[in-house]
Amino acid sequence: MNLADLNKVALAMVTPGKGILAADESSGTIKKRFDAIKVESTEESRRDYREMLFRSTEAMSKYVSGVILYDETIWQNAKDGTPLIKLIEQSGAIPGIKVDEGTQALPQCPGELVTVGLDKLAERLKKYYERGARFAKWRAVIDIGSGIPTQTAIHVNAHALARYAALCQAAQIVPIVEPEVLMDGDHDIDRCYDVTQHVLNKTFQELLIQRVELEGMVLKPNMAISGKKCVRQASVEEVAEKTVRLLKACVPAAVPGIAFLSGGQSDEEATAHLNAMNRIGGLPWRLTFSYGRALQAAPQKAWSGKAENLAAGQRAFTHRARMNALASKGEWETGLEKKVA
C-alpha cells in the first residue's frame, strides 16, 4: 500500500468546488427511476443515460471530481465504442466502483439488515483497479424504529465497513466508507443525531482495529436530519449546526474529506444543507457531496429516454452539479436555482 498515493486520490475526490456523482444504482433501483419517467430499463437504455451524463462536458470537467459506477457500467462501452470509464477519465474525473452486493436480513434482528459482499472482494478489487477504478464504495444501512437499531446491527455493519476499507487500501483503492442512518421514519433530528453518533463512533473504532489509514479514505455519512414522517422538520440552519457538531465529535481530523449522501432529500434541500454547513467554516476536513438522486432526478426527467432530449438532460445535470459545487464552497443562493444554463 502506498499511503501517499491513496491520500492524493482522496484529496482529489474532495477538491473544493467539486463533488462525486453517485451513478451506481443497481439494476433494480434504476428500473424504479426509469419507471417514473416511463422509460424501459434495458442494458442499452441504462448505457445511453449514463453516457449522456459522462459526456456533459461542463458538468464533468468543472464540478465533478469522481463518479461511482455500478459493475455493469464499468465494463460498458459508449455508442462509439469508447469505454464509459474512459469518458470519465477524459473529463478529468476519477472513476470509482460500488463493490458491496446489497443487503440481507440480519439473523435474530427483525427489521434490520447487513451488507454483504466481502467474499472474493480482494479478487474483484484487483480487476476493478486494472480497469481503472481508483476508489470504491460500500454502503451500510442502519434504520431507526421501535427497538432499532440494535447494538448487533451497528456492530456487524461497522465491522464489515472496516474489513472492506482495509481490503481496498491493500488493493491501492481509496474506500468511501458509507454508514447510512436512514431518514425514512418518524424520528426527530435529535434521535437521528444520537443514532448517527453511535454508528460513527463504532465505525471509526472498527477502522482503527483493522488498521485502516484514515488519510487514505473518504467518509460518506448521512446528515443529522428529521425523519421524513416526523411532524417537526428541522430547519436548514438546525440541520447544518447539528451535523457539524456531530462530525466534530466523531470524525478524526486525519480524514481528508466528507462527501454527504442525499438520503432521499429533495434536490434543493440537499444543496441548501451542504451550503449551510460550509458557511459555518473552521472545519478540519473538506465537506462536499456524493449525491445520486439529488443530482440525477432533474436530468432523468428532462431526458426521458429520448435522443432529442440529450442536450436538455445535460443542461439539467450541469445546473444541479453547479448548484452543489457552489454549496461545497458555501456560495449557493436560492435565487440561483432558477438560472438554468
**pLDDT for the residue numbered 195:** 98
The mean pLDDT value for 320-326 works out to 96
CA nearest to 176, candidates 142, 217, 117, 211: 217
The percent helix, strand, coil of the chain (3-state, each to 5) is 50, 15, 35
Going from the C-alpha of 113 to that of each of 132, 166, 187, the distances in angstroms are: 31, 22, 19
Is the link from the previous residue into 179 a cis peptide, with omega within 30 of 0? no
E strand or H helix at 98: strand 94-98
Give 109-136 pLDDT, tens digit per residue: 999 999 999 999 999 999 999 999 999 9
From the candidates 25, 51, 112, 178, which is the catalytic residue? 178
The mean pLDDT value for 57-72 works out to 96
Q: Is pLDDT at 340 greater than 60 in this prediction?
A: no
β-strands 113-115, 257-260 pairing: unpaired
The CA-based angle 334-339-341, given to 5 degrees, is 140
Helices (H) and strands (E) in the chain, counts: 13, 10
Going from the C-alpha of 331 to that of each of 17, 42, 202, the distances in angstroms are: 10, 39, 33
CA distance 301 to 307: 13
Residue 325: pLDDT band (50, 70, 90) is very high
Give 140-149 pLDDT, tens digit per residue: 999 999 999 9
End-to-end CA distance of the chain: 43
**pLDDT for the residue numbered 334:** 81
178 is catalytic: yes
Cell of 265: 432529500
How many Cα atoms within 13 Å fall on the side-chain side of residue 64?
A: 33
CA nearest to 252, candidates 290, 202, 215, 209: 215
**DSSP annotation string for 45-85:** HHHHHHHHHHT-HHHHHHHEEEEEE-HHHHT-B-TTS-BHH
| Strand partners for 153 | none
Q: Is pLDDT at 335 greater than 80 in this prediction?
A: no
Q: Is pLDDT at 192 greater than 90 in this prediction?
A: yes
**Span 3-338: which CATH code?**
3.20.20.70
Are the C-beta atoms of 193 and 224 separated by less than 8 Å? yes
Cell of 138: 460500500
The mean pLDDT of the chain is: 95
From the candidates 18, 98, 202, 220, which is the catalytic residue? 220
The CA-based angle 78-83-86, given to 5 degrees, is 115
Q: What percent of the chain has pLDDT over 70?
A: 99
Domain-wise residue ranges, the chain = 3-338
Q: Is pLDDT at 320 greater than 50 in this prediction?
A: yes
51 is catalytic: no
pTM of the model: 0.95
**pLDDT for the residue numbered 339:** 58
Residue 341: pLDDT band (50, 70, 90) is very low
